[in-house]
Structure 1
Amino acid sequence: MSTSISTASDLEQLLEKQRIREVVENWVVFRDSGKWEEFKSVWHSDGVMMATWFQGHFEEFIKVSIEGWNKGVSILHFLGGSSVELSASGTRAISQTKMTITQRGLVDGFECDVVCTGRFFDFMEKREGRWGVVLRQPIYEKDRINPLDPSANFKLDQDLLMSFPEGYRHLAYIQTKLGFKVKEDMPQLKGAAVEALYQRGRDWLNHA
């Protein structure tokens, strides 16, 4: 009997992790395709989005994303592997998903793609039978600038570039050039900020 109970428990955990993964994937598909009403469905009512260029409630994030969409701002996402840790109660989770953020825009007169690799670190909760995002905090690991024209000959402002954190300095560079105010203490691959985030995640799971 203990074996069957364990198997049933394992199966339910697997299903819950799959449901969480579906929320993460819907976030990217709905946001990047401009399906704003559907995009609202991945959040809980108190959901918060953290990004280099925005920090705040998800409804405000949607509002400024729509404004950017209508102005031609191009920010797209691509997902990789994921790891989901469930709380003992089964009502909270931390989901980490490998991702890239690609932003297209003019860098010193040349059209470029900035590609940033990192992870989405999501605080998830199951409320009334539905998983949703309570907090999305990206972790920025490394990035680069790719000119669309490989023969483009331009030189970045090194003083400005080096003033930004290593994990997202090229992304911060283009966003600053495009007029965004960039948050400069976001979690990266290593360091105090990401360690504090990991601890916050453990606390989230332990206090479910």
Structure 2
Amino acid sequence: MSDSEQLDRVRIAHLILQERVARDTGRWDQMRACYSGDARVDISWFRGSGFDFVDASREAADSGSGSFHKMEPCLVDVRDDRAIVDVGVAIHLRTLMDKVEVLLIGHGRMLFRVERTGSNWLINHLTGIYVMDTLQPAVPGEAVSFDRERLAAYRSSYRYLSYLLEMSGRPVSQDLPGVDRPDSVDAILTANTEWLNQQSEP
């Protein structure tokens, strides 16, 4: 691996961590600066442009929906002016469910497409692969009640997240990439590989 490729990997990994830290700490201008103008985000609760995602994240934070991301080391694959980043993540969310404070942890992988624009690397696309999630009361021993029939209808890879979001009026697509549907994971990995290997337009 050349010195320039090693430097690119470091810069790209820093970009991804900077975007997540900026989101978790409310540094919205820094978060926006991580996305290209034509970036797209496709995750559980949002589908749209990168800049609109920043605005939606700010609105969620202002409404009191607090979350933070615990990130694993980034796996970066670079081809010329494009890169794919795969990073394991645990999303921690504190919210209310029927007036009971609960803690949700969603485990998954975040997949970023990144492009070089001039001398900078910017995020072009963000999606995720969902693995599993857990939910518990913030106060140990406090009772949390569920509609068991509704809960059972959700997929195991993001069951409690689906339940909480629907309860807040934001239904979640049940067609997201998840380990409980390996074909959905293969599809997004294949699409990312094809994108990575495409020749840049002259």
> Normalising by structure 2, what TM-score?
0.93
Q: Distance in 1 between matches of 2:151 and 2:51?
A: 31
Is 1:84–1:93's contact at 8 Å kept on the other side of the alignment? yes
Letter in 1 for 2:115: E
Question: Which of 187, 192, 195 matches 2:186?
Answer: 195
8 Å CA contact retained: 2:137, 2:144: no
Q: Unaligned stretches of 5+ in structure 1?
A: 1-8
- Tell me the CA shift for residue 10 of structure 1: 2.5
Alpha-carbon shift at residue 40 of structure 1 (Å)? 0.9
Please identify runs of 4+ aligned residues in structure 1 that moved more than 3 A. none
Maintained 8 Å contact 1:48/1:56: yes
1:161 aligns with 2:151: yes
- For 2:44, the equivalent position in structure 1 comes to 52
Distance in 2, matches of 1:154 and 1:121, equals: 33
Which residue is equivalent to 1:115?
A: 105
Pairwise CA RMSD: 1.3
Query: Percent identity, aligned pairs only?
Result: 25
Question: What are the superposed Cα offsets for residues 39-87 of structure 1, whole Å, 9 maximum, x if unpaired?
Answer: 1111011011112111000121122222222211112211112211112
Letter in 2 for 1:199: T
Q: How far apart, in 2, do the equivalents of 1:64 and 1:181 lie?
A: 16
Q: 2:137 aligns with which of 147, 172, 177?
A: 147
Q: Secondary structure at the match of 1:81?
A: coil
Alignment-mate amino acid for residue 98 of structure 1 = G
| Structure 2 gaps, min length 5 | none
Contact 1:167 1:188 in 2 (8 A): yes
With normalisation by structure 1, the TM-score equals 0.90
Q: Do the aligned residues in 2 keep the contact of 1:100 with 1:116 (CA within 8 Å)?
A: yes
Give the counterpart of 2:94 among 88, 92, 104. 104
Larger Rg: 1 or 2? Answer: 1
Q: 1:105-159 CA deviation, whole Å, 9 max, x = no partner?
A: 1123311111001111011111112111110001111110021111112332121
Q: Which residue of 2 aligns with 1:205?
A: 196
Aligned residue number for residue 41 of structure 1: 33
Amino acid at match of 2:90: T
Q: Does 1:184 align with 2:174?
A: yes
SS, match of residue 158 in structure 2:
helix
Query: What SS does structure 1 have at the residue aligned with 2:2?
Result: helix
SS of the aligned residue for 2:72 comes to strand
Distance (Å, rounded) in 1 between the aligned partners of 2:166 and 2:93: 12
Query: Could you tell me which amino acid in structure 1 is paired with residue 55 of structure 2?
Result: K
* One-letter amino acid of the counterpart of residue 182, structure 1: V
| 1:205 Cα deviation from its structure 2 partner | 1.3
CA distance in 2 between counterparts of 1:129 and 1:180 reads 39
Q: d(CA) in 2 for partners of 1:181 and 1:58? A: 21
Name the CA distance, whole Å, in 2 between partners of 1:76 and 1:173: 19
Distance 1:119 1:101 in 2: 10
Q: Is the Cα–Cα contact under 8 Å of residues 48 and 135 in structure 1 kept in the other structure?
A: yes
